[in-house]
Amino acid sequence: MTQQGYQQPPPQQPPPQQPPPQQYYQPPPQPHYQQPPPQPYYPPPQPRTGMPSAGGALVLVAGILGLIQGIYIFILLLFLDTYSYGFYFDFGWGGPVILVCGVLALVFSIIAIIGGIFALQRRGWAIAVTGGILGMLAFGLGIGFILGLIGLILIAISRAEFHN
């Protein structure tokens, strides 16, 4: 014991060993690959309806009917403006007017056919609308006007689906 009654403290032991301070967790190093290029932003696609296709088909049919009518007018003038079976059909001043109508029907019908094709491909909205208007004016054996009008309406209201 100690000299004057004091107890000697027990021999000092080294402090308990604490684990070494933990290093902050670091993920393993990543390989240095090249970053992929940023992806461009594309707006969501517009829903596709059948209106341009239906309108294009109607304008195309109106153009074909107008083409048939124009050819019919030329055949009519070619064969009836001559002697036929002993009868002479003279159109007088009406012959050139009918001929001009036949030429206009052919020209309008060709443009209507082109407009119908453009509408089916969904490109060239202005050409498709022009084809619809001229398909109406070609008159196409009477029903071509109605088909051209319905096709024109369908093409006109589906402008957003066309690529220019």
Break the chain into its structural domains and give their ranges: 51-161
Higher pLDDT, 31 or 106: 106
Average pLDDT over residues 106-127: 96
As beta bridge partners, residue 83 has 88
Mean of pLDDT over the chain: 84
Higher pLDDT, 161 or 26: 161
> Which residues, other chains included, contact 150 with Cβ-Cβ below 8 Å and sequence gap of 6+?
55, 58
pLDDT at position 79, please?
A: 73
Read out DSSP for 23-76? PPP-PPPPP-PPPPPPPPP-PPPPPP-SHHHHHHHHHHHHHHHHHHHHHHHHHH
pLDDT tens-digit map of 14-61:
666 766 556 666 667 777 777 778 888 888 877 889 999 999 999 999
Higher pLDDT, 135 or 163: 135
What is the C-alpha separation between 153 and 111, in angstroms, rounded? 17
